Structure 1
């Protein structure tokens, strides 16, 4: 396990959020749930205080902090996707039940956490050796909400969208 892991702040739904996140990606699981042993700002005795979980091999902690705290774009979680089917599946799942789509493959899930759903092919196009193609792919990217690998490829190659 890594020496450094993100801690996500929740207001009573840390266990629900962790269970949702681990359902999305392979090599993910709930490691431990710690309950409050005394009444506190975090909750009553027996309610969930901390959930330690692994998400795609990376350790995380979810904390029920006792009050609502807003996330910002300053910290987001990027998921590298092998293909369009994975982009589509994760995009739809993270947007379900109140998430908000944003430009360039970013979204905010129903818990307020920011994610970047990015095809691994993206760097092939925006960082490719053809600088004009890379520029076209970047322009295509800037016009997208959910990223579309085929549209990025066509832009890089200088072909018009179908």
Structure 2
């Protein structure tokens, strides 16, 4: 497609504005400010930015921050960051009313971070997040207001 948004390397990017839950809006509409992509943040900063976005009811945008951390993390932490990103996407699906998608991503994210429960890096509350994710996966409708149901990333 010749009119498709592309980055410098030619990868597809969607520059359309998005709402707070990451849904694309029509071109020219005013959308939510997006988290800058491709930024390597120290783990503490990534967690703080993601938490602020979750607390503001913007789990899709928190996912983008967590995904950047996943892609830049050392090998032994990649699954932690991947799982955290999956939890944010699960909450996004719950808020959008996509209960099957929410359940799938929340369960997948809980399973992905579970191996870090005994020694969680960076103060991440892995046991608390696993409990939160499984409860929301069992009843995704409780996540319709993502700010109200936002998890605490750190204990």
TM-score (norm 1): 0.30
TM-score (norm 2): 0.31
**Larger strand proportion of the pair:** 1
